[in-house]
């Protein structure tokens, strides 16, 4: 499969659970991103990884912990979440610098915290 793949597509978790979201890109890109999409709010950039190094963390609570073991994989580890963390989590990748300027997105993980 080409493009950006996210698993799982849907996740329901309790506030005391620990879970992880996975993202894999097959585009040969060197940068990966986590975005959060909540109802009635703009898309929020959470984390940026470039060459497997975290280069941006937009004041995201520590209950979200990203991991980028290589340039093709990105994880978002979740623990002790709150109901307001329920949202669509989108992974994206791009090639910077020097590549095409657009980012490619996965289909997202719909997270519900109960």
Partner 1 sequence: GDSVTQMEGPVTLSEEAFLTINCTYTATGYPSLFWYVQYPGEGLQLLLKATKADDKGSNKGFEATYRKETTSFHLEKGSVQVSDSAVYFCALSKGGSTLGRLYFGRGTQLTVWP
Quick one: which segment of 12-20, 63-71, 75-83, 100-108 binds partner 1 (CB under 8 A)? 100-108
Q: Among 68, 103, 111, 113, which residue interacts with partner 1 (rule: CB under 8 A)?
A: 103
Closest CA to 108 of 33, 26, 19: 33
Q: Which is nearer to partner 1, 42 or 69 (CB)?
A: 42
For the chain, the straight-line distance linking the first and the last C-alpha, in angstroms and rounded, comes to 33
Name the minimum Å distance from CB 99 to partner 1. 8
> 84: which DSSP letter?
G
Our CA dihedral for 55, 57, 62, 67, rounded to 10 degrees, sits at -40
Q: Which of residues 47-76 bind partner 1 (CB under 8 A)?
A: 48, 50, 55-56
Q: Work out whether 33 is an interface residue with partner 1 (CB under 8 A).
A: yes
């Amino acid at each position: 499969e080409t493009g950006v793949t996210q698993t799982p597509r849907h996740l329901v978790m309790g506030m005391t659970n620990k879970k992880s979201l996975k993202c894999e890109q097959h585009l040969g890109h060197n940068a990966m991103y986590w975005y959060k999409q909540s109802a009635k709010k703009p898309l929020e950039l959470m984390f940026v990884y470039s060459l497997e190094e975290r280069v941006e963390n937009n004041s995201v609570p520590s209950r979200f912990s990203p991991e980028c073991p290589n340039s093709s994989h990105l994880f978002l580890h979740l623990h002790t979440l709150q109901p307001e963390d329920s949202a669509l989590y989108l992974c994206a990748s791009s090639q910077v610098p020097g590549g095409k300027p657009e980012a490619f997105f996965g289909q997202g993980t719909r997270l519900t915290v109960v």
